[in-house]
C-alpha cells in the first residue's frame, strides 16, 4: 500500500514540482493551495505525512500545524523561505518533526520524508515484513501477530488497530483519528468503538497489552513498557 501525503503549498509551480517527485516514489499525493483547504482535506482523508508551507493565504502554516497537533500525531515537515532560528524553534514547539528551508530540492525532501516515515513506523526498511516490540511480533505479510513466538488470534480490526498503533510508535493518537484511520470516515459508530477494541486487544495481548498506554483526555499511545 502506498504512503499518503498531504502537501499544503500555495506556489503552484513548486507544488507540482514536489508532487512529481513524490509520485515517482509511489506516494499518493493530496494537494492544497492554502491552509484552509489543507485542513478540510486533512479532516476527511487519513494521511501518513503532512508537508506544510508556512507563508500561505487563508490560514498560515503555523495555524495549520497547531490545529493538526490538537487532534493527530501524524508526522509534519515544515517548508519555508525563512531560515531564522526562531522560526525553526517555533515549528518544533508546535510539534513539527522536520524543518526544510527554501530553495529546496524535491529529491532531498522525498528522501527526508522517507527517512521520517521509517522512524515513525518503527522499522528499518520499507520492505520489512516484521515489526517487533517487546515480545510482540507483527508479521505484515501474513497479517499475523505472535507473543514470544506463539500466534494469537486477532480479528481483522484488532490486527489493523494494533498495526496502526505500532506504525505510530511513541505518538499520542486521538480516538477521532484512530476511528477515521482504522474504520474509515464513513463509519457510523462512535468513539466508544475504539475503547472497546482497545480493551479486547489488550486482553488478547496479555501482559504485552501494557504497551498500549492510555493518555488521559487525549487518546492512546503505543510504547514499550518495562
Does the pTM exceed 0.75?
Answer: no
Q: What's the pLDDT at 7?
A: 95
Could you list the mean pLDDT of each consecutive 10-residue stretch along the chain, which spans 226 residues?
Answer: 88 91 92 93 88 86 84 81 61 73 84 77 51 86 87 90 88 87 75 92 95 92 87
Sketch out the chain's domains with CATH numbers. 4-121 (3.40.50.2300), 130-222 (1.10.10.10)
Q: What's the pLDDT at 127?
A: 42
Closest CA to 91 of 117, 116, 54: 54
Q: What's the pLDDT at 93?
A: 67
Q: What's the pLDDT at 225?
A: 85
- The C-alpha R_g of the chain, in whole angstroms, comes to 18
Q: What's the pLDDT at 123?
A: 43
Q: What's the pLDDT at 28?
A: 92
Amino acid at each position: 500500500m502506498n504512503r499518503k501525503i498531504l502537501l499544503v503549498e500555495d506556489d503552484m509551480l513548486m507544488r507540482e514540482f514536489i508532487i512529481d517527485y513524490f509520485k515517482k516514489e509511489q506516494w499518493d499525493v493530496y494537494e492544497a493551495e492554502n491552509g484552509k483547504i489543507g485542513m478540510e482535506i486533512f479532516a476527511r482523508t487519513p494521511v501518513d505525512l503532512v508537508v506544510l508551507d508556512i507563508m500561505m493565504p487563508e490560514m498560515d502554516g503555523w495555524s495549520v500545524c497547531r490545529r493538526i497537533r490538537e487532534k493527530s500525531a501524524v508526522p509534519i515537515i515544515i517548508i519555508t523561505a525563512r531560515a531564522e532560528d526562531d522560526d525553526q524553534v517555533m515549528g518544533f514547539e508546535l510539534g513539527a518533526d522536520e524543518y526544510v528551508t527554501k530553495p529546496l530540492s524535491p529529491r532531498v525532501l522525498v528522501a527526508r520524508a522517507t527517512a521520517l516515515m521509517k522512524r515513525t513506523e518503527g522499522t528499518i526498511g520499507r520492505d520489512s515484513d516484521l515489526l517487533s516490540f517487546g515480545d510482540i511480533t507483527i508479521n505484515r505479510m501474513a497479517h499475523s501477530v505472535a507473543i514470544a513466538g506463539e500466534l494469537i488470534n486477532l480479528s481483522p480490526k484488532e490486527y489493523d488497530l494494533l498495526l496502526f498503533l505500532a506504525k505510530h510508535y511513541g505518538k499520542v493518537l486521538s480516538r477521532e483519528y484512530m476511528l477515521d484511520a482504522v474504520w474509515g470516515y464513513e463509519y457510523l459508530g462512535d468513539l466508544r468503538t475504539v475503547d472497546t477494541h482497545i480493551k479486547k486487544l489488550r486482553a488478547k495481548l496479555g501482559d504485552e497489552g501494557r504497551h498500549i498506554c492510555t493518555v488521559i483526555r487525549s487518546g492512546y499511545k503505543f510504547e514499550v513498557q518495562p
